[in-house]
Amino acid sequence: MKSQTLITVVLAVLLCSTGFAQIFDFPDVSLRDKNNRLVSVAELTKKGQLSILVFWDIDDRKSCQLLQDMAIVYADSLQGYPINFVAVAVPKSGNYALAANYARVNASDINCLTDENAKLSRHLGINEFPWAMLFDVDQKLVCQYRGYCVGVDEKLCHEVKICLEKLKL
């Protein structure tokens, strides 16, 4: 049993240290923006820019808190950089109008969209909220955070700054 654990740890370290990163094939789906217009996921996840996707649920207090925290960090530290920051609402209750209004008021600097049929979140394997993901310019997953804990916004901001330094931006 100990040898299996050791092998698992060694493999995890090797994968991390060799630069292994998962490249995501985003599905051909559309999300709704604050004005009820359809936006293609392909347009949102173009290569050549960093992408932050935060999946949240209006009916989950921790999701709303992460969205507010990320909006503050973005406005204070990341705005003006070539970053595609998208908050994707996946309301379990189906209350999309409330989600759009909440995002308009609490995260006005962030592109907030709704995943009405949860196609995108299901395709990415997201099964809990909130869930934050950072993709590099080649759309490789750099990091992801599941659930909410104090400081996730700062950790994600730190990862973004590391990516920006690599790009010399």
Grade residue 140 by pLDDT with cuts at 50, 70 and 90: confident
Segment 71-129, tens digit of pLDDT: 888 888 888 888 888 899 987 777 777 777 787 777 777 888 999 888 899 988 898 89
CA distance 63 to 109: 17
Segment 7-21, tens digit of pLDDT: 333 333 333 333 445
Of residues 101 and 143, more confidence is placed in 143
**Closest Cα partner for 143 from 63, 50, 27, 72?**
50
26-41 mean pLDDT? 86
149-156 mean pLDDT? 84
Residue 1 has pLDDT above 80, yes or no: no
First to last CA, the chain: 46
62-68 mean pLDDT? 88
- Length of the chain, please? 169
Task: For the chain, list the domains and their CATH numbers.
Answer: 22-166 (3.40.30.10)
Residue 24 has pLDDT above 50, yes or no: yes
* Predicted pLDDT at 45: 75
* Predicted pLDDT at 22: 64
| Beta-strand pair 50-56/141-146 | unpaired
**Where are the extended beta strands (E) located within 26-128?**
30-32, 38-40, 50-56, 83-89, 111-114
SS3 87: strand
Q: Which strand ranges, in their side-by-side order, compose the sheet holding 83-89?
A: 38-40, 30-32, 111-114, 83-89, 50-56, 131-135, 141-146
90 within 8 A of 119, measured Cβ to Cβ: no
* Predicted pLDDT at 141: 87
| Beta-strand pair 131-135/50-56 | antiparallel
CA 85 to chain centre: 8
Q: What is the mean pLDDT of the chain?
A: 78
